[in-house]
Amino acid sequence: MSAKCVKAILAEVPRERWPRHIAIIMDGNGRWAQRRDLPRAEGHRLGVDTVRKITEECATLGIEQLTLYCLSSENWKRPQEEIDFLMHLLQQYMISERETIMENNIQVRMVGRRENIPGHVLRELDDTVSMSRRNSGMWLNLAINYGSRGEIVDAVQKIAGKIAAREIAVEEIDEDVVSAHLYTAGAEDPDLLIRTAGELRVSNFLLWQISYSEIWVTQSCWPDFDETTLHEAIADFANRKRKFGGLDD
């Protein structure tokens, strides 16, 4: 479907049916490069360009929150050369995108564990988070060194500590309490989960938060994901019936 047709379809969809929070598993950078006999690093480099395009487009469309799966806790198993390059890209992104982030009124947040991330990368990340804290526009949640099972374990440990300190009683624990102790505390659950590169799994991403998210998968690898594909995903979401366990009207 052409970009013009997709945009026309999206324009016909009532704004209240659009997703408020989009989460994306950005997959396929390495495969994109290998299919073109290029180094994997080139796929990652172009993947950063896609992050820039999609972030700006979501902000322009008025999406309230965008969560990007940047680096999973399992990705540390990759060759050290690739890890070092990914850390370099992350550091450079935090520096180079500050002007764009501020111009688009975007608030940057990190979700994930801070350990293992090099100090020089954390400093740039923290500076960008701090600089954008007062922005009132779209939340850009960057999942870095993130794993959902680890997130839930960390939340359980925090809650257990509060029980031990008698700050909370066992019978007071409910879904809201658990949510408040996750890395994503304060964020709405994603309405739409997008996965690129055709993979049909969630890869330890936001397991608690995507309980009722609509899932949309594209065969396009992340470097090929563009504004038209984003519009297509939003239009498809808007035409689905979300029952949340109930019955059709």
Q: Tell me the catalytic residues.
A: 27, 75
Q: Which residue bears the tokens 């180079």?
A: 96
Cβ atoms within 10 A of the Cβ of 204, count?
16
Query: How would you classify the pairing of strands 139-146 and 107-111?
Result: parallel
Report whether 182 contacts 158 (CB < 8 A): no
Backbone φ, ψ for residue 60 (5° rounding):
-65, -40
Q: Helices 119-132 and 80-96, interaxial angle, to 10°?
A: 30
| Exposure letters 162-171 (e unless 16+ CB within 10 A, then b) | beeeeeeeee
Q: Let me know if 213 is exposed, middle or buried by CB neighbors in 10 A (0-12, 13-18, 19+).
A: buried
